[in-house]
Amino acid sequence: MKKTIILLIIISAVTALRIYKIDQKNLWFDEIYSWHISQGNVEKIVAETTGDIHPPFYYIILKYWTEIFSDSVISMRLLSVLLSVLSLYFIYRISLIFLKSDNLAYLVLILYAVSPLNIYYSQEVRMLNLNLFLSLGSVYFFTVLTDSRRKGYSVLFIVFTTLAVYTHYFGLLILFTEMVILILIIINIPEDKSRALKVLTYTIAVNILYLPWYPVFIIQSSKGQPWRQEQNLIKAFGDLRDYFKDMFFSSYYSYESKGIIMFAEFSCAILLILILYILYTIWKSRNKFIQDKLFISLFFFIPLSAAIIITLNQSILLSRYLSTVIPYFFMTVVYILFSKFSKKAATAAYIFILMISITGTYIYSENSFKNNDYRKIISYIENNYREGDRIIAEPHFMGWSINYHISHSNSILTPPEVLGWNLNMQIDSLRIQNKPGSIWFITDYSSLEREKYDSLNLLMNTAGYDNITGKTFYIVPARVRVDYFSKQRINDLTN
């Protein structure tokens, strides 16, 4: 009864923290992209994601979710909340296997409950919490399979792992980690060799089921993305430091006071020292690494190491891509604290980590925006819009935010027109059309091709348009300019 009450309290806390202010922040570009992709049929989703940087499974799930529960901001984000709450089951079960203690498993769940990074992605219309849930299921069934002969788990392992790699490419790192652990078992534990070989065949089955998508994965990973840059080791280490600050303080700590920023730096230094101690402890215990289930820590350290290597060639936001391995870090930290330190020291260190997580959760909840917060821009245009006005958004995909707004309100706005795939094509199309009238032209300086944005007035003049008014909005990650042009002369317009 006591156990049930504790778990219910934790589940309630996890749910409440992820629902709190769930619609406060704007839908940013990645979320709008998820909505946009999910509007197509399954065939179109698969076709479009072949040109994206993520596999299609999440978008398919989101499509059917929105068909049942609507595509409101709250509804779409509740899918991520649900997956975050469901992940508790696997976190608890894995923690019990690894820590062999209900009380220590509760400590892991509490850290997960107040994790600002998980709360952040639980309130985002993206695939990270689906990948979290599926990867945790894969790890749980993998752990059981390597420790027993219970029937049925092999099928569940294959299903969860396959769906995970069809959700996010970092799911492949979990699969890779599982294969590394199996090889370690085969080499170091002769009595478990046959069992490990059998589980290895299940991982091969997953790879076979992924064969249709491997060519897409290879093409996408080899060409990379133009907005990601090559980095040196110093910058990669800086990204690693930022990852731990984001993990416990949320990415919004940098908008706070200088004192908070300095405290985040101090806390990060302490955490990095703890990580070095964990690695030292693992090295000392390497002979008992597999038997004592210390291999659970590899589900954090192998993806982390791979991400650092990846970010040298193509810079990535570690806190985003590694948000799904945080539970394994929590399990490892709790294990090290309460097995290698005195109870008082372990409790003090745990409370310190818990308190900085609570601080981070507070910071996250007090900030009301994400990237690409176009709400003020849309309101500004709507308040000054005249019947017959046209809207152009450059880059054109910024217009998806306006499309979403139009589809969920009684807006007088018309959908933004796509006249080309860059600024030059848009201007050339306006010249060819040679239509009179007025145009709202929105230029987002977070675009990769923004070199001619400052010359927009001159370019529009060549197409016969005069600038009537303009306004600059300063949003994250860059400023956005809204200009109102008319084909008529200014003198005619003011008479």
- Model pTM? 0.93
Q: What is the pLDDT of residues 23-52, one digit of tens each?
A: 999 999 999 999 999 999 999 999 999 988
The predicted structure's pLDDT at residue 495: 44
Structure tokens at 103: 């009380």
More confident residue, 252 or 188: 252
Judge whether 114 and 37 are in contact, CB under 8 Å. no
Structure tokens at 101: 């203690």
Q: What is the pLDDT of residues 146-204, one digit of tens each?
A: 876 666 789 999 999 999 999 999 999 999 999 999 998 888 888 888 888 999 999 99
- Longest Cα–Cα distance of the chain, Å, equals 92
Judge whether 374 and 402 are in contact, CB under 8 Å. yes
The predicted structure's pLDDT at residue 287: 64
Please give the helix or strand (H or E) that residue 474 lies within, else none. strand 466-474
Judge whether 394 and 442 are in contact, CB under 8 Å. yes
The predicted structure's pLDDT at residue 9: 96
Across the strands, what pairs with 467?
A: 485
Q: What is the pLDDT of residues 62-71, one digit of tens each?
A: 999 999 999 9
- Average pLDDT of span 248-255: 91
Ramachandran class of 390: left when φ > 0, alpha when ψ lies in -120 to 50, beta otherwise? beta
pLDDT at 489 over 60: no
Domain boundaries, the chain: 2-366, 375-494
- Average pLDDT of span 328-354: 93
Q: Is 186 exposed, middle or buried (0-12, 13-18, 19+ CB in 10 A)?
A: middle
Q: What is the pLDDT of residues 92-107, one digit of tens each?
A: 999 999 999 999 999 9
Q: Please give, one letter per residue, the 3-state secondary structure of 435-472.
A: CCCEEEEEEECCCCCCCCHHHHHHHHHHCCCEEEEEEE
Angle at 245 between CA 243 and CA 250, to 5 degrees: 95
Across the strands, what pairs with 480?
A: 444, 473
The predicted structure's pLDDT at residue 231: 83
CA–CA distance, 10 with 115 (Å, rounded to integer)? 13
More confident residue, 150 or 458: 458
395 upstream amide cis, omega within 30 of 0 = yes
Q: What is the pLDDT of residues 408-439, one digit of tens each?
A: 999 999 999 999 889 999 999 999 998 899 99
**Rounded (10°) CA dihedral 290, 296, 302, 303:** 160
Residue 68, C-beta contacts closer than 8 angstroms, at least 6 positions apart: none
- Average pLDDT of span 307-327: 90
Across the strands, what pairs with 438?
A: 486
One-letter amino acid for residue 74 of the chain = I
Please give the helix or strand (H or E) that residue 483 lies within, else none. strand 479-486
Q: What is the pLDDT of residues 346-371, one digit of tens each?
A: 999 999 999 999 999 999 999 999 99
pLDDT at 271 over 90: no
Ramachandran class of 45: left when φ > 0, alpha when ψ lies in -120 to 50, beta otherwise? alpha
